Amino acid sequence: MKADRAYLETVAGQLRAQGLAVTARLALGDPPGEILKTAEAEQCGLIAMTSHGHRLLGDIVYGSTINEVRHKSTIPVLLERIK
């Protein structure tokens, strides 16, 4: 948790330095559920997520947080594939 929090604060700091308003939240539990719950509680206008581009087997092995979020969200979801 300490390493995760440090990573989030580092990235949030970089985004703030670019002039963006950023709030970082670290939650325990089911990732898709926590993302959706937090986005609604914070009244977010957009959920931005990155993907490694897993396909069927990767989704089965690693789960598919993105698929669950994009299918259940009433908030627009922006997906960016990373390499």
pLDDT in tens, the chain (83 residues): 899 999 999 999 999 999 999 989 899 999 999 999 999 999 999 999 888 766 666 666 556 888 899 999 999 999 888 77
Q: What domain range is 49 assigned to?
A: 2-81
CA distance 44 to 57: 31
Domains held by the chain: number:
1
Residue 28's domain is classified under what CATH number? 3.40.50.620
Closest CA to 35 of 21, 50, 20: 50
